């Protein structure tokens, strides 16, 4: 398969970008025409950022699974679609060809149907990194059900909040998941979540760990039993549901600056086109390449660059169940060597954690199959960038630093591997179709180079967020109201003399901990649930491996003389309410928080103290009681 839209030279990149800005409709219409549509669109684009209302490929009909599966069968039926590497290296790996994946997706789509799932229904997916996770996503898409994947690290309470928000009546899960030397009891967590969600009709459980589980009559069924039933019925085929380009494909919850995560909605047509286009161009994918994205499918990176992008391009996608440091810190390199991986897409936090083990774990692994390295999730520091390029890429692989967000559906700013130049710690240039602008606090566009500002995007691209599920107003206020007429990213950014973009981090109250997005308000809410807590304030601080760590300042009624026990209790509470990923790294008990006379917490001061910057705290004269600052400084951990 050739990709008519593949950019092969730097000149072609500039041509494509210029064309995409001069005439976005002609540009994207051309890209989209190389996909498989049941019915072509009547109009490419309709939009305004006031409501917002964005529609791409209006009137077009398609099913994304026909693009990810059926269309490859003619020539690529026996090409591996998914290679699966289990957590335990001694366990048998699996290779699933396009033909087999097509069959398995249809089988499971029929399982969903038999269990009552219909077009438009929301299906929550809470599974480990097994091929059945990808199969479950695609089976939902096959019948037009809207999937909502929840990362396996979220707690029962988080799941129940999301189930209620999406009114998801169906769940697909596993008995448990293997991760390193741990076994995570996924079904038990679901059971806890469901105590509060009586509206859930069916839970389909895949057996993976053989962990004992409680299967509830009439509600819980085993994946394999249901597959067997479909097989007994004799007709495993499941025609793809005809979807409108703007029908929702999935919801993915992500954190913002308020306490409640929001359900980002992506739609079938635009998401497919943009995820595939960026996959092929950023990584310069060539037919036959093995693509290894180390993210979890629970995050957008996994949706776009493990499942939909690669499969729609007919690529071989490698899914890894385990973690980079188990059984030892050479595991990624084992996997690269074993499968002769060509494209490796990972996160700065993983790189930094592996750097800490030195070069020994890399020795004895042949990494010469690697052609392209990618980074995503947070700013990559120069040291990590160079280590990655030198020790993993052997100075022979372009590194792409890909900046984007859950709300974007695909990569917005990145160099194109080997086509446009890289610059360490810079995401560099916008993809075709992307018009970044920097604005000042007043919303005025900052023109010229060597400038910094808040990063906004001017014009819609095909996979921009359409709405936040069940609350369109929230989508408007969050992304489109701060700077009218633009999509606001929440990131700060610098533009160098050549127009390269360098993302400097969030400018809102959102943390990025090991590449995971966590709202400070969310963590505060969780801490405040603890019976002994009066008030709390959470800020980020620089962390060598995680990028950012979580620092909590907490006022307690009484720690009963045992601060450490109280700390553990608070951690436990955050574990229960959100999940282990949001657990504070540091908890400092304070008697008061720095507040203005109107009662607003001044986070700037807390951030400085958490960072260890004790002298330059800025103006503290507006504080209700400036003395609290000294007390907090003294108690810093």
Residues with Cβ within 8 Å of 619's Cβ and at least 6 positions away in sequence, in order, are: none
Q: Which residues pair with 439 in a beta bridge?
A: 445, 454
Question: Which residue, 207 or 405, is less far from ligand WT7 as judged by CB?
Answer: 405
Q: At what angle do helices 156-166 and 186-194 cross, to 10 degrees?
A: 60
d(CA 301, CA 307): 9
Question: Which residue, 60 or 393, is less far from ligand WT7 as judged by CB?
Answer: 393
Question: Which residue, 126 or 479, is less far from ligand WT7 as judged by CB?
Answer: 479
Question: Which residue, 506 or 546, is less far from ligand WT7 as judged by CB?
Answer: 506
Q: Which residues pair with 82 in a beta bridge?
A: 96, 317
- Shortest spacing between CB 155 and ligand WT7, in angstroms: 18
Q: Nearest 5°: phi and psi at 560? A: 55, 35
Question: Which residue, 322 or 410, is less far from ligand WT7 as judged by CB?
Answer: 410
Nearest to 243 by CA among 397, 47, 36: 36
Q: At what angle do helices 98-114 and 131-143 cross, to 10 degrees?
A: 60
- Shortest spacing between CB 545 and ligand WT7, in angstroms: 16
DSSP 8-class letter at 423: B
Residues with Cβ within 8 Å of 634's Cβ and at least 6 positions away in sequence, in order, are: none
Residue 442, SS3? coil
The dihedral region occupied by 531, where left means phi > 0, alpha psi between -120 and 50, and beta the remainder, is: alpha
Tell me the CB-side half-sphere exposure of residue 139, using CA atoms within 13 A: 30
Q: Which residues pair with 373 in a beta bridge?
A: 344, 399
Question: Which residue, 53 or 504, is less far from ligand WT7 as judged by CB?
Answer: 504
d(CA 436, CA 633): 40
- Shortest spacing between CB 507 and ligand WT7, in angstroms: 9
Question: Which residue, 493 or 556, is less far from ligand WT7 as judged by CB?
Answer: 493
- Shortest spacing between CB 503 and ligand WT7, in angstroms: 4
- Shortest spacing between CB 330 and ligand WT7, in angstroms: 25
- Shortest spacing between CB 151 and ligand WT7, in angstroms: 10
Question: Which residue, 76 or 301, is less far from ligand WT7 as judged by CB?
Answer: 301
Instruction: Give residue 44's Cα distance to chain centre.
Output: 27
Question: Which residue, 403 or 494, is less far from ligand WT7 as judged by CB?
Answer: 403
Q: Which helix (H) or strand (E) holds 222?
A: strand 220-222
- Shortest spacing between CB 449 and ligand WT7, in angstroms: 19
Residue 573, SS3? helix
Question: Which residue, 470 or 505, is less far from ligand WT7 as judged by CB?
Answer: 505
d(CA 275, CA 303): 9
- Shortest spacing between CB 491 and ligand WT7, in angstroms: 5
Question: Which residue, 230 or 503, is less far from ligand WT7 as judged by CB?
Answer: 503
Q: Are 25 and 44 in contact (CB under 8 A)?
A: yes
Question: Which residue, 86 or 374, is less far from ligand WT7 as judged by CB?
Answer: 374
DSSP 8-class letter at 480: I
- Shortest spacing between CB 166 and ligand WT7, in angstroms: 18
Q: Nearest 5°: phi and psi at 487? A: -90, 125
Q: Which residues pair with 46 in a beta bridge?
A: 55
Residue 443, SS3? coil
- Shortest spacing between CB 7 and ligand WT7, in angstroms: 20
The beta strands (E) that lie in 403-506 are given as 436-439, 451-457, 467-468, 487-495, 501-506
Q: Which residues pair with 492 in a beta bridge?
A: 454, 505
Residues lying near ligand WT7 in the complex (CB under 6 A): 254, 300-301, 376-379, 401-406, 427, 489-491, 503, 505-506, 512, 517
**Look-up: residue for tokens 């300042």?**
553
Q: Which helix (H) or strand (E) holds 492?
A: strand 487-495
d(CA 541, CA 353): 17
- Shortest spacing between CB 515 and ligand WT7, in angstroms: 6
Q: Which two tokens stand for residue 430?
A: 């916008």
- Shortest spacing between CB 296 and ligand WT7, in angstroms: 11
- Shortest spacing between CB 411 and ligand WT7, in angstroms: 8
Q: Which residues pair with 502 in a beta bridge?
A: 494
Question: Which residue, 378 or 524, is less far from ligand WT7 as judged by CB?
Answer: 378
Distances, alpha carbon 388 to alpha carbons 343, 359, 363, 513, in Å: 13, 11, 14, 20
- Shortest spacing between CB 380 and ligand WT7, in angstroms: 6
Question: Which residue, 246 or 401, is less far from ligand WT7 as judged by CB?
Answer: 401
Helix and strand numbers (H, E) in the chain are: 20, 30
Question: Which residue, 332 or 426, is less far from ligand WT7 as judged by CB?
Answer: 426
- Shortest spacing between CB 489 and ligand WT7, in angstroms: 6
d(CA 311, CA 136): 14
Nearest to 175 by CA among 187, 190, 184: 187
Q: Are 404 and 412 in contact (CB under 8 A)?
A: yes
């Amino acid at each position: 398969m050739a990709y008519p839209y593949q950019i092969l030279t730097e000149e072609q990149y500039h041509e494509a970008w210029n064309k995409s800005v001069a005439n976005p409709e002609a540009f994207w219409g051309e890209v989209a025409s190389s996909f498989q549509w049941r019915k072509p669109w009547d109009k490419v684009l309709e939009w305004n950022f006031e409501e917002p209302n964005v529609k791409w490929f209006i009137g077009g009909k398609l099913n994304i699974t026909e693009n990810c599966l059926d269309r490859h069968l003619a020539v690529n039926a026996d090409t591996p679609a998914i290679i699966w590497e289990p957590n335990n290296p001694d366990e048998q790996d699996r290779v699933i060809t396009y033909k087999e994946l097509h069959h398995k997706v249809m089988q499971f789509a029929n399982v969903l149907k038999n269990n009552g799932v219909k077009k438009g229904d929301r299906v929550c997916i809470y599974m480990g990194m097994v091929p059945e996770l990808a199969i479950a996503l695609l089976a939902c898409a096959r019948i037009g059900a809207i999937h909502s994947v929840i990362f396996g690290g979220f707690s029962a309470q988080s799941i129940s909040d999301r189930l209620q928000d999406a009114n998801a009546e169906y769940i697909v899960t596993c008995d448990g998941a293997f991760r390193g030397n741990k076994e995570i009891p996924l079904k038990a967590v679901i059971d806890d979540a469901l105590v509060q969600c009586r509206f859930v009709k069916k839970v389909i459980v895949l057996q993976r760990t053989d962990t004992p589980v409680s299967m509830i009559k009439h509600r819980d069924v085993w994946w394999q039993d249901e597959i067997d039933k479909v097989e007994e019925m004799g007709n495993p085929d499941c025609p793809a549901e005809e979807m409108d380009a703007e029908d929702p494909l999935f919801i993915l919850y992500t954190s913002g600056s308020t306490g409640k995560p929001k359900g980002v909605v992506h739609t079938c047509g635009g998401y497919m086109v943009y995820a595939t286009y960026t996959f092929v161009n950023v990584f310069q994918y060539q037919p036959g390449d093995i693509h290894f994205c180390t993210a979890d499918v629970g995050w957008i990176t996994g949706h776009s660059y493990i499942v939909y992008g690669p499969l729609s391009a007919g690529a071989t996608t490698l899914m890894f169940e385990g973690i980079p440091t188990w059984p030892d810190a050479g595991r990624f390199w084992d996997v690269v060597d074993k499968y002769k991986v060509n494209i490796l897409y990972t996160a700065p936090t993983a790189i930094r954690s592996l750097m800490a083990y030195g070069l020994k774990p890399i020795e004895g692994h042949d990494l010469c199959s690697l052609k392209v390295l990618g980074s995503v999730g947070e700013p990559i520091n120069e040291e990590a960038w160079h280590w990655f390029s030198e020790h993993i890429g052997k100075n022979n692989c372009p590194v792409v630093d890909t900046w984007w967000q859950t709300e974007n559906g695909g990569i917005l700013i990145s160099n194109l591997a080997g086509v446009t130049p890289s610059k360490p710690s810079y995401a560099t240039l916008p993809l075709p179709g992307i018009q970044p602008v920097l604005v000042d606090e007043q919303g005025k566009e900052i023109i010229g180079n060597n400038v910094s500002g808040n990063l906004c995007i001017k014009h819609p691209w095909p996979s921009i967020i359409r709405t936040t599920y069940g609350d369109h107003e929230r989508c408007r206020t969050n992304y489109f109201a701060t700077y009218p007429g633009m999509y606001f990213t929440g990131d700060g950014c610098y533009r160098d003399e050549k127009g390269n973009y360098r993302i400097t981090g969030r400018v809102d109250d959102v943390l990025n901990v090991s590449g995971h997005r966590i709202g400070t308000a969310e963590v505060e809410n969780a801490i405040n649930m603890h019976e002994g807590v009066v008030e709390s304030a959470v800020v980020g601080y620089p962390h060598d491996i995680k990028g950012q760590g979580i620092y909590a300042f907490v006022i307690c009624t009484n720690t009963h003389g045992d601060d450490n026990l109280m700390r553990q209790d608070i951690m436990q509470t955050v574990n229960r309410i959100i999940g282990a990923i949001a657990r504070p790294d540091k908890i400092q008990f304070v008697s008061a928080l720095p507040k203005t006379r109107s009662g607003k917490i001044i986070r700037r001061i807390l951030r400085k103290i958490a960072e260890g910057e004790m002298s330059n705290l800025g103006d503290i004269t507006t504080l209700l009681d400036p003395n609290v600052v000294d007390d907090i400084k003294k108690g810093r951990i």
